Structure 1
C-alpha cells in the first residue's frame, strides 16, 4: 500500500535537494524521512532517486512520478485547509521566502500579531536575499522588492517602494552634491550586487536611463549597503524602507538629480496555476494594511 506520508517525504526531498533539508522542513528526523522514502520505493517497485554522498538525482521513474506526487500533496494540503476554513479557522503549513533586510525591519513586525491571532497557521519563513524559484523550491509564495521577471509567478502588490539616491552628509561635503544624472558618473557608487551593478535606472522623458557610477563597493545585503553609505564610502540607491530612518535621523541625505528612479513595489508572488489558499490571501491582505498606502516607512509619505 502506498502511504501519503511516503509521497510527502519524496516531494519534500526533491524540493529541498537533500534528505536533511527535507527533514528540517517536515520537522522530522532524517531517519524517519529516509524510512518513508524507502517504504514508498518498495511499494512502487522501483527506485525514485539516485543517492550519492554528494547529491540526490531523480531516476526516470522518479521524474515521471514527481508531477503527480506533488499534485497529490498539494491537493491534500488544500483540502485540509478548505475544511479548516469552512470552520472559520486559518490553519495548516505555509512556506514563504523573503529578503533579509525587509524581513527584519518590516515583514517580521507585521507578521507577528497576525500569527498570534491565527495560532493554527504553521508558517515557515525563509529569509534570504538570493532569488529563489518559488515553484521548484517548494514555496507557497515569495516576497520581493522590485520587478517580478518570472512569468510563472502571479504577483500581488503589497506596497509602493520608492528608491532614494542618498549619501552621507560627510561624503557630499567632501565630494560635492550631484545635481544631474551626468554628475553621477564622476561619483563613487555602492551597489546591491544581487541586482547587478547597473541597476541605477532613472525615469526620463526619453525613457529609462541607466547610470553607472564608479564602483566603490558591491555588496549583497541591504543593511550593509546602507551602513556603507552612512560611513561615507559613496552614493547608494536605497529602497525607502531601508533608507527612511537614516534620512530622518540625518545620517543620510537624499540627492535630487532632476529625475526619479524607476518605480518599484513590494510584491507577494505565488506560482502560476496554483490556487492560493485563504491563509495566503489573508496574510497578503494583512500586510497591505500594515504597510499602508503610502507605506509608513517612506520618509516623505
Structure 2
C-alpha cells in the first residue's frame, strides 16, 4: 500500500526540482526525502524520476503518477480542512494566482485582512498576467479581470470594473481631445502588449476594434498608467488602476461616443462550490471590495 509521506515526498521533489529543495520545503533531511521516494518507487515497482548530479526528470511512470499524486494530496488536505471548518476553524493550504496590477493594488491588502482572520490558512499567492492552467499547475483558484473564459470552470464575479480611456491634461493640451473613435485612431496610444485586440469598444452600430498607433507597448497596467501620467499618449485602463489618478485630476476620462469592453474581476475555480476556505475567501473578497467597489466610486459615469 502506498504511503502518504512517499507521495508527498515525490510531489515536493518535482516541485522543488531537487531532493534537497524538497527537504527544505518539507522540513526534512535530504536523506529522509530520498528514502521515502525510494520506498514509493519500490512499492510501485517503477522508477519515477531519472536522476543525475545536476538534473531530475520525470519518467513516463512519473508523468502518469504526478497528477494523481497531486489530487490525492489535495483531497486529503481538503478533508482535513473541512473537518477543521466544522469545528469552526479554517486551515490548510490555499494556492491562488492573480494579475500583477490588481494583485499589487487590491488583492494583496484584501488577503492581509483574510489571513489575520484565519491564521491557520497557509496562503500562496502568485502574481502573473498570463492565463494559468488551474488544474495542471495545482492552483485552487485564479483571479482574473476581463472575460472569464474556461467554460468548464466555475467563475464567480468578485466586483465590477470598467475600462476607461484616459490621458493627462498635458497630453490633451498638446494634442487635442478626441471626441469620436475616428479621432481617437489618430492619437498616440499606450498599449497593453498581452492582448492583441485590446481596444475593443461597443459603439452605436455594434462592436468596434481599434488599432491605434503605439507610442509604447507594455505588459504591466501600473506602468501604462505611469506612462499616461507622463503625457506619452492615451491609454485604456481598468478603473481599479486609474481611479486615484482620475480623482486627483492627473488623468482625465475621455468620451469618444463608445464604451470600452469591461474588465470585471472574477475568481475562477474547479468544483461547484469550492472548498470551505475558498468559499470563505470569496465572501471576504466581495465584502472587502464593496458594492460598488471602492475603485468605481466617484468616477465619471
Same fold (TM over 0.5): yes
Contact 1:17 1:55 in 2 (8 A): no
Shift of 1:34: 5.0
Shift of 1:25: 9.6
**Cα distance between partner residues in 2 of 1:115 and 1:102:** 18
The corresponding residue for 2:275 is 277
**Cα distance between partner residues in 2 of 1:299 and 1:123:** 30
**Cα distance between partner residues in 1 of 2:139 and 2:165:** 33
The corresponding residue for 1:43 is 43
Q: Which moved more, 1:21-30 or 1:46-55?
A: 21-30
The corresponding residue for 2:246 is 247
Shift of 1:263: 2.3
Render the CA deviation track for 1:189-210: whole Å, top value 9, x for unaligned: 11111223x2011112333211
Cα distance change on mapping 1:291 and 1:43 into 2, 3 Å? same
Instruction: Tell me how many residue pairs correspond in the alignment.
Output: 298
> Which consecutive unaligned segments of at least 5 residues does structure 1 have?
none
Contact 2:154 2:272 in 1 (8 A): no
**Cα distance between partner residues in 1 of 2:52 and 2:189:** 45
The corresponding residue for 1:268 is 267
Structure 1 residue 209 and structure 2 residue 208: aligned? yes
Shift of 1:152: 3.8
**Cα distance between partner residues in 1 of 2:229 and 2:141:** 33
Cα distance change on mapping 1:124 and 1:67 into 2, 3 Å? closer
Task: Tell me the SS of whatever aligns to 1:161.
Answer: coil
**Cα distance between partner residues in 2 of 1:159 and 1:25:** 38
Counterpart of 1:288 (choices 283, 286, 292) is: 286
Q: Which moved more, 1:52-61 or 1:222-231?
A: 52-61
Contact 2:204 2:258 in 1 (8 A): no
The corresponding residue for 1:190 is 190
Contact 2:185 2:212 in 1 (8 A): yes
Task: Tell me the SS of whatever aligns to 2:257.
Answer: coil
**Cα distance between partner residues in 1 of 2:165 and 2:16:** 39
Shift of 1:90: 0.7
Structure 1 residue 90 and structure 2 residue 90: aligned? yes
**Cα distance between partner residues in 1 of 2:157 and 2:222:** 23
Q: What aligned pairs does 1:221-232 form with structure 2 within 5 A after superposition?
A: 221-232=220-231
**Cα distance between partner residues in 1 of 2:131 and 2:273:** 22
Render the CA deviation track for 1:81-128: whole Å, top value 9, x for unaligned: 111011011111111011222112111111212211111111111122
Cα distance change on mapping 1:184 and 1:207 into 2, 3 Å? same
Contact 1:6 1:36 in 2 (8 A): yes
